[in-house]
Copies of this chain bind each other. A is one copy, B any other.
Amino acid sequence: MRISYQGEPGAYSEAAVFEHFGSAAAADPCKSFEDVFQRVVQGDSQYGFIPIENSLAGSIHQNYDLLLQHPLSVVGERYLYVKHCLIGMPGVRLDEIRKVISHPQALAQCAVYIRSLPGVTAEPVYDTAGSVKIASELRDRSLAAIASRRAAGLYGMAILAENIQDNPENITRFLVIGQEPAVPEGEAKTSIVFSLKNVPGSLFRAMSVFALRDIDLTKIESRPLIGRPWEYLFYIDFAGSTLDPVVERALAHLSEYALMLRVLGSYPRHRL
């Protein structure tokens, strides 16, 4: 089974693929999110794996846009703790390190830890997994990279310290996309996108659709539609599946108010 993701081998997205599908999955690295969608649309890959929100950085609107532009369904979700490791040459001691390289966001997320290392400077590079590749090629004992545990293994490097991020609550949520809708059994969630006229109370009416039926929302987010100053796009996730008649009626009710409504898919709920 081939699953496409954006990034290099050793990326956190790849780790999420293996956690979700098991280590036998054929993880297929792609250059861009657009490429991930294309692979699934053309049937080159069975599934795509895309990050949709991060607990520190927020929702990734670009991937919501790609979901709206492609005829694919959300068939799964996965939460992954982002646990950064300090990675150096095998046999190196922590006090030999003088420079740390990684993606600027990873360096920022480990700023307190890096400052705690005496005489160590940080230098940004393009990619987390790529920083390990660079460090392994330079074979410099004073150089360390910050990336995932798996990236260290891939490039034959050693883990000098683990879980070095300042905020332990660094979690990315991924969605699994496929050609066919899922038929989730057990506890399910559903993701929808819709737009409303921006008049006072319109969102309140839209929310009543769920509140009146005791449907529990797990995410709500508004996004102004640029160039259409009176319209908003909303992302909502809720507990339940479209196979449930109550959910079906709620969505029919919502379509009375919505200018546009797209059900992205129902899928088994993942809990960390």
Residues of chain A whose beta carbon lies under 8 Å from any beta carbon of chain B: 32, 53-62, 65, 104, 108, 111, 124, 126, 169, 171, 198-201, 203-204, 207-208, 210-211, 214-224, 226-227
Q: From residue A133, how far is it (CB to closest CB) to chain B in Å? A: 14
Give the nearest-CB partner of A65 in chain B. B56
B221 engages A220 (CB within 8 Å): yes
A58 engages B56 (CB within 8 Å): no
Give the nearest-CB partner of A81 in chain B. B226
In the bound complex, CA of A88 to CA of B92 (Å) = 43
Q: From residue A216, how far is it (CB to closest CB) to chain B in Å? A: 5
Give the nearest-CB partner of A125 in chain B. B126
The prevalent SS among residues of A at the interface is: mixed
In the bound complex, CA of A61 to CA of B105 (Å) = 14
In the bound complex, CA of A215 to CA of B202 (Å) = 11
In the bound complex, CA of A205 to CA of B111 (Å) = 40
B211, B220, B224: the one contacting A222 at CB < 8 Å is B220
Q: From residue A190, how far is it (CB to closest CB) to chain B in Å? A: 15
A226 engages B171 (CB within 8 Å): yes
**Within 8 Å CB of A199, what residues of B?**
216
- 21 of the cross-chain contacts (CB-CB < 8 Å) are A32-B108, A54-B61, A56-B61, A57-B62, A58-B59, A104-B126, A124-B126, A169-B226, A171-B226, A198-B216, A200-B210, A201-B214, A203-B211, A203-B217, A204-B204, A204-B208, A204-B210, A207-B207, A219-B224, A220-B220, A221-B222
